[in-house]
Amino acid sequence: MELQLSLEKLKACGIQAASITYDSREVLHAFGQAYNITYPLLSDVGSKVIRAFGIFNTNVPEDHKMMYGMPWPGDYLIAPDGTVRDKLFLRDYQLRPSASEVVLRHFGDRAGGNSVAINTDVLKATVTLSTDRCFPGQEIAMSLQISLKPGWHIYGTPLPGNYQPTELVFDSPLVGEQSLELPPARPMLLKALGETLPVYEGELRTVGKLGIKWSPPLPAKFLEALGTRIEPGAYTINGTLRFQACSDEVCEAPQAVTFALPLRVEAGIPPAPKKPVET
Amino acid sequence: MDAQTKAHILHDMIRRFTTGGGDITSSDWLAFVEAQNDGYRTGPAIGEKVPDFSLPDQHGKSRALRELMGPQGVLLVFSRSADW
């Protein structure tokens, strides 16, 4: 269902979408109607295609009426020649991959619609979230693009303690795990300092992930005790970009620029209206 | 985790859901996740060809992989079930 929200963005990138589950055509028809799904919901009764892909979940016993036949869930981005261009499988099923993530990885900001620009006298940075709407428990992608004025650099790692390496950190009660790996920095001999330090010059571009917390389907009291209750609504995610810009002659003071990006958390998925199905 | 333990955990959790789930602890929940994901596999590697297929959609129309393609390809999402 989250996929429906991303369809337009996918289309703009020339990507069509489809889902595959073991459900009967009747179940999928009811689901599609209930949620106004416009992409193909493919019915793999007997899990033939799920098996052919090698992702049939062999942990589920045959006599488990509800779960037998399900896959280890994941997304594939398949190129027109039928080869896998990218894929996304998450071990922790509390994190659902976002359809927009694999696309942001390949198509950059065209796929994102939620950006903030940070400008200083020597640097232009853009932080983009892959979406401005998500469901609890979803993983969304973020990208960081930095463009430096010629003659200036910022630092990578490892770095001696008196310099500030480049870092992007999100700080919000909504954010669970986050990861953003910067590409390897280039060692540069800084003549004024007589030191060789890892630096970035020119353009820097990288993509990472943000895990939005989820309330598992457990009683409210229990969730509150765990501190994992996420209510739908409009949120703001705060982040900080830290860096220190230097040229051959001068070094600016370390900077910590904070920013905010809006993110709407949609209500969790209620059970689809059911038609009795013969099993 | 052996097959019998996994089967027990998967059956037991669904039974407890249907009776309200009030007695489910966080370690029960983690065991439930672990029982599903134990030894998980992710299918064809990046760069490999995926198996060709043709499946009916929600309207009963048969859809082959090549018909699902956009000019830049297709995002194929495998989910557990649309029903639960």
Residue range B2-47, pLDDT digits in tens: 899 999 999 988 888 777 767 777 677 778 878 888 888 889 988 8
**Cβ–Cβ gap B80/A91 under 8 Å:** no
Facing residue for A99 by CB, picked from B14, B53, B75:
B75
Neighbours of A202 (CB within 10 A): 11
pLDDT of residue A40: 96
Is the domain of A155 the same as that of A246? Answer: yes
> Do A133 and A224 reside in the same domain of the chain?
yes
Nearest CA in chain B to A30: B58
Closest CA to A13 of A124, A111, A102: A111
Q: Which of A47, A72, A97 is the last residue of a domain?
A: A72
Number of domains composing chain B: 1
Instruction: Say yes or no: A47 and A115 in one domain.
Output: no
Contact list in B for residue A98 (CB cut-off 8 A) is none
If you compute the radius of gyration of chain A from its CA atoms, what whole number of angstroms results?
23
| Closest to A165 in 3D by CA, of A195, A132, A200, A137 | A200
Q: In a mutagenesis test of the A interface, which of B36, B65, B74 is the best target, namely the one with the most A β-carbons within 10 Å?
A: B74
Asked if residue A75 lies in contact with residue A102, where contact means CB atoms within 8 angstroms, the answer is: yes
Q: What are the backbone dihedrals phi and psi of residue A29, each rounded to the nearest 5 degrees, phi first?
A: -65, -45
At residue A69, the pLDDT reads 93
What is the pLDDT, as a whole number, of residue A214? 64
B34 to chain A, closest Cα gap in Å: 8
Q: Which helix (H) or strand (E) holds A106?
A: helix A99-107
Cα–Cα dist B36/A70, whole Å: 10
Residue B31 lies in a domain: yes
The pair of three-digit structure tokens given for residue A263, joined into one six-digit string: 């993110």
Alpha carbon distance A211, A176 (integer Å): 5
CB-CB under 8 Å, B45 with A21: no
Using a CB-CB cut-off of 8 Å, the residues of chain A touching B33 are 92-94
Please give the pLDDT value at position A250. Answer: 86
Beta bridge partners of A97: A139
Residue A128 and residue A246 share a domain: yes
Which of the residues A27, A44, A76, A278 would you substitute to probe the B interface, choosing the one with the greatest number of B C-beta atoms within 10 Å? A76
The pTM for the full model equals: 0.57
Reply yes or no: is the peptide bond before residue A158 cis, omega within 30 of 0: yes
**Do A124 and A223 belong to one domain?**
yes
Residue A224 C-beta-side C-alpha neighbours within 13 Å:
3
Whole-number pLDDT of residue A215:
57
* Final residue in a domain of this structure, among A72, A93, A125: A72
Closest residue in B to A49 (Cα) is B53
Shared-domain flag, residues A43 and A135? no
- Residue A138: CB atoms within 10 Å: 24
Supply angle C-alpha A156, A158, A163, rounded to 5.
70
Phi, psi of B10 (to 5 degrees): -70, -40
Residue A86: Cβ-neighbour burial (10 angstroms; 0-12, 13-18, 19+): middle
pLDDT, residue A269, reads: 47
What is the separation of C-alpha A144 from the centre of its chain, rounded to a whole number of angstroms?
Answer: 13
Strands of chain A, DSSP E? 15-21, 41-43, 74-78, 84-89, 96-97, 114-119, 123-129, 133-134, 138-148, 152-155, 167-171, 175-179, 186-190, 195-201, 203-212, 233-243, 246-247, 255-265
Residues A147 and A248 in one domain: yes
- Give the count of Cβ contacts less than 8 A between chain A and B: 232
Task: Report the pLDDT value the prediction gives residue A151, as an integer from 0 to 100.
Answer: 93
Choose from A37, A218, A223, A275 for mutation: most chain B CBs within 10 A. Answer: A218
Do A61 and A126 share a domain, yes or no? no
Low-confidence residues in chain A, pLDDT < 70: 1-2, 90-113, 137, 214-229, 267-279
**In this structure, is residue B20 part of a structural domain?**
yes
Residues in chain B: 84
- Asked if residue B57 is part of any domain, the answer here is no
How many other C-beta atoms are found inside a 10 Å radius of the C-beta of residue A71? 27
Q: Domain range spanning residue B15?
A: 3-37
Task: For residue A232, tell me if it sits in a domain.
Answer: yes
Give the model's pLDDT for residue A271. Answer: 38
Supply A147's token pair: 């463009």
Task: Give the per-residue pLDDT at A162.
Answer: 83
From B11, B43, B55, residue closest to A55, measured CB to CB:
B43
Same domain, A62 and A131: no
A232 with A137, same domain: the answer is yes
Contact A64 B60 (CB under 8 A): no
- The β-bridge relationship of strands A74-78 and B73-78 is antiparallel
Residue among A48, A70, A46 nearest A57 (CA): A70
Pick the last residue of a domain from A72, A98, A117: A72
Residue A278 lies in a domain: no
> Which chain A residue shows the shortest CA-CA distance from B38?
A59
B50 vs A contacts (CB less than 8 Å): 53, 76, 78, 82-84
Quote the pLDDT of residue A6: 77
Number of domains in chain A: 2
Q: Nearest chain A residue to B44 by CA: give it.
A: A53
Q: How far is B23 from chain A (nearest CA, A)?
A: 9
Q: Is residue B9 part of a domain?
A: yes
**Looking at residue A48, what is its pLDDT?**
96
Which tokens in the block code for residue A53?
Answer: 């892909």
| Domain at A247, CATH number | 2.60.40.1250
Number of other CB atoms surrounding residue A158 within 10 Å: 9
Range of the domain at A9: 2-72
